[in-house]
Amino acid sequence: MAPLFTGSKFAFGLSPLVAAAVDPVVAGVYLSYGWYGGATGSTAVDRIDWANDTVTASARGSNRASSSNGGGLSNLTHGWFSGGYTAGGNSTVDRITYASDLSGGSSRADCPQSSNGRPGGFSNTTYGYWGPGMNGNGGAASSEVTRVDFANDLTAPANRTNTASPYIAHTGGASDFSTYGWMLGGQFGGAGGVVGPNWSSVYRLTYASDTSALSTRGNLANISSGFACGNQTHCWIGGSTDSLVSSITRVTFSNDLATSTNRGNLVRAMRRSGSGSNTYIWWAGGYASGTPYSDVERMEYVNDLSTLSPRGPMSLTRICLATNHMTLG
């Protein structure tokens, strides 16, 4: 089977890795496509074919709710989309089946809180986790870390632990797919819709003891409310709306107490979402200065100091969509 990856709301992907000092990926099964959702006023899901990424993304099925943010999770066969900005908040969870992605999303159990804002997603092969979102349209950001059991997704996702700060939303999520998951950056969100600065903190969750307090790790070189994507050894997080950050910064999982290192730059400075194969990350959609975009830019792991390469566009503009991070099978 071709390479697998996951993304966030919403996206869900071997070559030698040497130039950027990125360790070789672990042998496994990877998907050949990325699925993206999260467009205001539209429930449509786009799919990018990794082998043909210069054409416009292919429109597939739809989700239940139209929303411009959300968190995505994935395994080898399905992707889960949760949350997003809609009037009154959105706690719905939809599941897309990759083999029949023209059929649209299937309704699963809703999250216990309204994840209105971007709840960063990450997963191992058994469970998926969503980090804090924002409760209601203009409400306070939550601190909950919520877990969904992939094999029992009609049961409501359960709160496992909480972040150190009760006011972080729009976190990026990353995973090594076996031992740890990371939540990176984010944005202050207070009661009454108060929006504060972006954060540079990095927190780590241990899958085997996921009810324990998160471990505080190093910091991002740039404050960020962008979305993360990665492989088994590193993750990259890029973009922010507040300060229009264009740089992409990289966290090395084996050295996560260190400050992340800045790598290449986005072609357009804004908050972006990434999904990836074992070789590349495709950053898609985005939002800056009140304008949504349909851009797609590609970053190569072994050449991550270079400015990204423009690829084909999405079929429509997408505000801060989330994509599913790569998953190893």
pLDDT tens digit sequence for 159-180: 899 877 655 666 778 888 889 9
Q: What confidence score (pLDDT) does residue 12 get? A: 45
**Residue (of 93, 99, 97, 103) closest to 62 by Cα position:** 103
Local structure of residue 16 (DSSP, 8 states)? -
Q: Which amino acid belongs to residue 113?
A: Q
Residue 138's Cβ-count burial label (10 Å; 0-12, 13-18, 19+) is middle
pLDDT at 269: 75
Taking the C-alpha atoms of residue 171 and residue 150, their distance in angstroms, rounded to an integer, is 22
Instruction: Note the pLDDT of residue 171.
Output: 72
Please name which of 192, 199, 202, 197 lies closest in space to residue 224, comparing C-alpha atoms: 199
Cβ pair 117, 142 in contact under 8 A: no
* 47 touches 58 (CB < 8 A): yes
pTM of the shown model: 0.86
Q: Provide the pLDDT for residue 116.
A: 55
- For 290, counting Cβ atoms within 10 Å of its Cβ (0-12 exposed, 13-18 middle, 19+ buried), the class is exposed
Q: What is the mean pLDDT of each run of 10 residues along the chain (329 residues)?
A: 36 39 61 80 84 94 69 84 66 86 87 63 88 62 84 92 70 86 77 64 93 92 76 82 73 95 85 81 81 88 91 84 61
Which residue, 206, 205, 210, 188, is CA-closest to 197? Answer: 188
Q: Tokens in use for 131?
A: 């980090």
Say if residue 16 is exposed, middle or buried (CB neighbours under 10 Å; 0-12, 13-18, 19+).
Answer: exposed
CA 191 to chain centre: 25
317, two tokens: 């503009």
Opening angle at CA 285, ends 50 and 272, nearest 5: 95
What is the pairing mode between strands 44-49 and 58-62?
Answer: antiparallel
Rounded Cα–Cα distance for residues 202 and 7 (Å): 19
